[in-house]
Amino acid sequence: MFAVENGLQGDPRLQTISDAIRVIPHFPKTGIMFQDITTLLLDPVAFKHVVDIFVDRYKHMNISLVAGVEARGFIFGPPIALAIGAKFVPLRKPGKLPGRVISEEYELEYGNDRLEMSMEAVKTHERALVIDDLVATGGTLSASINLLERAGAEVVECACVVGLPKFKGECRLKGKPLYVLVEPSHDIRIESLLHILRRPASKRFRCYSPSKSPIWSSPSSSLDQLRTVFPHLELTVLVKALEDHGIREVTQSTGNDDAKVRAATVLEALAKVNNYGLNLRIQQVEQETVCRKDSIRMSFKGGTGEEKATNVINKLR
């Protein structure tokens, strides 16, 4: 279950946690929107909120064992274990643990893997909590539950910082409850881009100029948002780039997730666009103007129209 559905609705700590998680499109492979918790670790306030919320929840549940999944469960598990007076048991990737181990294979969002646990780490009937940073398919947590149960422990709950939305509603794993703090952070750039590109073409970048300066009538907050992300691009270049790179990509998407991934691709392309083309064009125009000035001067040279020529040139400035 999500923390908001369990007493923490409106708790500002959840927003702080969510805001501290960075989203990296196409990592570690195309199509994955990677939820990067390392940025949360850089923010001691957000990091402490995570630990505090879990500690509050588990401190009176008589838990004697906190199992953390390699690698990111090793970050959140130990501070929680210490605070609730439990031992910490690392569930490791293959070949890392000495001594007698049991192992479980499982499928990931991007591949297969195996987890191992030391047999000596667990006593029968111990009450265990499994901690990880994120649940996607639930394969890792299910393998963790299997390991603990095979060793005779009773798994009380699994807890993660982030839960991918496809998992929402399914709050039990192998019959065990799941407690999740936040849904994936939204990449504001992606939201803004989709907001713009989903508007009807006629309204997308409608430009009218009652005064001299053009007003772009697309959803201005979204466009402003994108302008702050791409401050190196002039507005005209940004709009042109969106038209060139974005619209076809996103209108061809097969669904919401696909649209987000495509929008991420567009954003990457935008990051590579620069004002170079525009500056080149300005230089060309300036060059043409200089040539025109020279040819006008030449045609009046020596004649009585020298003053006239100067007037024409001044108008060209």
Ligand X SMILES: Nc1ncnc2[nH]cnc12
Ligand Y SMILES: O=P(O)(O)OC[C@H]1O[C@H](OP(=O)(O)OP(=O)(O)O)[C@H](O)[C@@H]1O
Q: Which residues are catalytic?
A: 72, 109
Q: Which stretch binds ligand Y (CB under 6 A): 9-17, 126-134, 228-236, 252-260?
A: 126-134
- From candidates 42, 45, 61, 71, binder to ligand Y by CB under 6 A: 71
Rounded-to-integer distance, Cα 141 and Cα 129, Å:
11
132 touches ligand Y (CB under 6 A): yes
- CB 191 → ligand X: shortest distance, Å? 17
134 versus 197: smaller Cβ distance to ligand X: 134
Rounded-to-integer distance, Cα 192 and Cα 224, Å:
9
Number of residues written out for the chain: 317
Tokens describing residue 134 = 């994120």
**Residue 253 and residue 259 in contact, taking contact as beta carbons nearer than 8 Å:** yes
91 versus 134: smaller Cβ distance to ligand X: 134
25 touches ligand Y (CB under 6 A): no
Rounded-to-integer distance, Cα 205 and Cα 220, Å:
10
90 touches ligand Y (CB under 6 A): no
146 touches ligand Y (CB under 6 A): no
- From candidates 25, 68, 90, 139, binder to ligand Y by CB under 6 A: 139
75 touches ligand Y (CB under 6 A): no
- Taking the CA atoms of residue 245, residue 246, residue 247 and residue 250 in that order, the dihedral angle to the nearest 10 degrees is 130
User: Interface residues with ligand X (CB under 6 A)?
Assistant: 32-35, 109, 134, 136
The structure tokens 């990449």 sit at 187
Interface size with ligand Y, residues (CB under 6 A)? 16
Rounded-to-integer distance, Cα 32 and Cα 88, Å:
31
113 versus 149: smaller Cβ distance to ligand Y: 113
Q: In sequence order, what are the residues at sequence separation of 6 or more whose Cβ sits closer than 8 angstroms to the Cβ of residue 282?
A: none
- CB 34 → ligand X: shortest distance, Å? 4
Alpha carbon of 252 to those of 134, 245, 271: distances in Å?
Answer: 30, 12, 21
Beta-carbon-side half-sphere exposure of residue 204 (alpha carbons within 13 Å): 17
- CB 132 → ligand Y: shortest distance, Å? 5
Q: Which does 207 bind (CB under 5 to 8 A by kind): ligand Y, ligand X, none?
A: none
Residues at the site binding ligand Y, with contacts judged by CB under 6 A: 69-72, 108-109, 113, 132-140
